[in-house]
Amino acid sequence: MSVARQVVVEADGGSRGNPGPAGYGAVVIDPATGEPLAEAAEYIGVATNNVAEYRGLIAGLEAAKALFPDAGEALRVHVRMDSKLVVEQMSGRWKIKHPDMKPLAARAAAILPPSSVTYEWIPRAQNKHADRLANEAMDAGREGRQWEASASTAALDAPAAAPAPDALFSLADEPAESGGEPTDAHPAPQQSAGTPQTGWGAAPDLGAPATLVLLRHGETALTPEKRFSGSGGTDPELSAVGRGQAERAAGHFAALGTVQEIVSSPLRRCRETAAAVAARLGLDVRIDESLRETDFGAWEGLTFGEVRERYGDDLTAWLASPDTAPTGGGESFAQVAERVAAARDRLVARYAGRTVLLVTHVTPIKTFVRLALGAPPEALFRMELSAASISTVAYYGDGNASVRLLNDTSHLR
């Protein structure tokens, strides 16, 4: 009969961008002495915080099993992590909705018998060893090298005294933390102490940004004919081509595993596009009126040539000034910019540290990008934006924005 062996696994993961350069760290600890028995860390390329956290858990469990390969069910592992999402999901108290998290959770659960592993949520300040390992791995990746255990300084953050083993292993049936909702965000880890930052990295660590992924809706019957299609006329549905584009976009985002929330314009073509993505990701769609397309007034449904023929003077004035509205009481670009800026501020505050998909239209997307770049209004006429294209803008805690992607259609090929 095997003698029971008890160990503690502390694990963490982080992403500098969410998604961004990511890494994980894990340490196996003797609960009686607090001595680190094994460390693991790895730079994993571009990934989300949650992916990195799950990878850290997997590495920690595998390291514990490797230390005592013959222990079998006599091995008892107590996992301590500051990711409430991972702890609650692995404890079975929260459902795993994101399709990219399910295989990671299944992989972690298969390493040891479920009865051998218990989970505890701890504050980040109590997870310094694993956090330091994750940061060392990310630092190594930034420098184009692999993390090496021999160069690690993570043990400097290990606790001076270990908690009593009995206290750790009596938590199997206790909730990690009462209340709260699952979250896919984990603050970007702080830079390792003593690690110099150079170039653009010399700025202070502002944590994970609010990342707005801007998806233009799929084609409608009006799209190939380049007709004005705003919010003041008909509300066309997606065409067969547009529905196919929406499905390909949905597959793209499911494969990435980065989108945590979905917000859509109220217009039908956007709601249908958003619904296709939401169905693949298992997410709900929130409607935001501010994401609607420009009201083009009397120009709705017309081509540019038809507007030139019928309303030539009005079109010339509209092209010359962002304060001029289309014929018949439409919206000026200045008015659109005002509501988009207000929506941006609300969204950035609401989704700080998270990645949200905004399904919207040409003018709002171009406006998000223009405002992020500090470009003049005429920049709107200098951007190409294809149906079902993806653009991305990240907003940091100091108010600065970073345009990361514009008019990407690679997922449609």
> In the Cβ-directed half-sphere of 147, how many Cα atoms lie within 13 Å?
25
Non-local CB neighbours of 279 within 8 Å, separated by 6+ positions: 250
Q: What is the DSSP letter of 325?
A: P
399: left (phi over 0), alpha (psi -120 to 50) or beta: left
Omega of the bond prior to 377 within 30 degrees of 0, cis?
A: no
Pick the catalytic residue from 98, 186, 217, 252. 217
Place of tokens 């390909």: 248
Output the furthest CA–CA distance in the chain (Å, rounded). 92
The tokens describing 25, both together, are 């760290």
Pairwise CA distance, residues 243 & 265, whole Å: 17
DSSP 190-258: PPPTT----GGGGS----SPEEEEEEEPPPBTTTTTTB---SSS--PPB-HHHHHHHHHHHHHHHHH--
Cβ pair 105, 85 in contact under 8 A: no
217 part of the active site = yes
d(CA 27, CA 49): 18
Closest CA relative to residue 187, chosen from 357, 341, 353, 329: 353
Catalytically annotated residue among 219, 272, 293, 331: 293
User: Catalytic residue at 129?
Assistant: no
Gap between the Cα atoms of 193 and 203, Å rounded? 15
What residues act catalytically?
217, 293
